[in-house]
């Protein structure tokens, strides 16, 4: 059984994330989509909300399960018999951000490989941060995220001033 993890903040999940998850299932036997829960970072959606959105978004994907983790990603990999970390790359800036993490993770867990997949060109400019910014200013984002996520964004961003608050990247 070759098991991979697609880790991220998923605040919120985008269609770009889901494309990477789906393509990872063509390479690995099982894919765990894992929400990193880092209490020190400000998020628009709680860990529970991000997990619930991912569960719903991945419901139609076979051999995919959703989880959350705290602490080191490599500890999650060891505890869950995960052999590979799959990350999507949109551009060179993603590579610059991801490469040191890949090296650190390889040092911490030598048996766990990082696999980079080029993001589908259709999603090359889509990030959770930009989607939140556009939605915060009333823009239409249903082309970039599942419909129910777009609705959750509108509900959250029109009920609070979260759109202008500190936000995570990704």
Active-site amino acid positions: 17, 41, 90, 128
Nearer of residues 9 and 25 to ligand PNS, judged by Cβ = 9
**Residue in 69, 85, 148, 149 with CA at minimum distance from that of residue 117:** 85
When asked if residue 12 is in the footprint of ligand PNS (CB under 6 A), the reply is no
Cβ-based neighbours of 161, under 8 Å, separated by 6 or more: none
State in Å, rounded, how far the first CA of the chain is from the last one.
29
**Residue in 158, 156, 157, 130 with CA at minimum distance from that of residue 143:** 130
Nearer of residues 70 and 158 to ligand PNS, judged by Cβ = 70
Q: Which of 4, 6, 9, 64 binds ligand PNS (CB under 6 A)?
A: 9
* Residue of closest CB approach to ligand PNS: 36
Place of tokens 């610059």: 96
When asked if residue 101 is in the footprint of ligand PNS (CB under 6 A), the reply is yes
When asked if residue 16 is in the footprint of ligand PNS (CB under 6 A), the reply is no
89: phi then psi, degrees, rounded to nearest 5: -115, 120
CB of 75 to ligand PNS, least distance (A): 8
When asked if residue 119 is in the footprint of ligand PNS (CB under 6 A), the reply is no
Task: Please work out the total of residues on this chain that contact ligand PNS, with binding judged by CB under 6 A.
Answer: 12
CB of 8 to ligand PNS, least distance (A): 3
Place of tokens 């139609």: 60
When asked if residue 105 is in the footprint of ligand PNS (CB under 6 A), the reply is yes
Cβ count within 10 A of residue 13: 26
Q: Which of 18, 24, 30, 36 binds ligand PNS (CB under 6 A)?
A: 36
Most distant CA atoms of the chain, gap in Å: 46
Whether the upstream peptide bond of residue 12 has omega within 30° of 0, thus cis, is: yes
Q: Which residues of this protein are in contact with ligand PNS, per CB under 6 A? A: 7-9, 36, 72-73, 101, 104-105, 168-170
């Amino acid at each position: 059984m070759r098991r991979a993890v697609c880790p991220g903040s998923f605040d919120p999940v985008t269609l770009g994330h889901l494309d990477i998850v789906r393509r990872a299932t063509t390479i690995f036997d099982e894919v765990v989509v894992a929400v990193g829960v880092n209490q020190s970072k400000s998020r628009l959606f709680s860990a529970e909300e991000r997990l619930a959105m991912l569960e719903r978004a991945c419901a139609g994907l076979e051999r995919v399960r959703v989880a959350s983790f705290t602490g080191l990603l490599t500890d999650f990999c060891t505890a869950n018999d995960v052999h590979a970390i799959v990350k999507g790359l949109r551009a060179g800036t993603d590579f610059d951000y991801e490469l040191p993490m890949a090296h650190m993770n390889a040092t911490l867990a030598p048996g766990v490989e990082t696999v980079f997949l080029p993001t589908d060109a259709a999603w090359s400019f889509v990030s959770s941060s930009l989607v939140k910014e556009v939605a915060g200013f009333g823009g239409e984002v249903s082309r970039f995220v599942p419909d129910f996520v777009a609705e959750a964004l509108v509900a959250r961003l029109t009920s609070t001033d979260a759109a202008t608050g500190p936000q995570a990247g990704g």
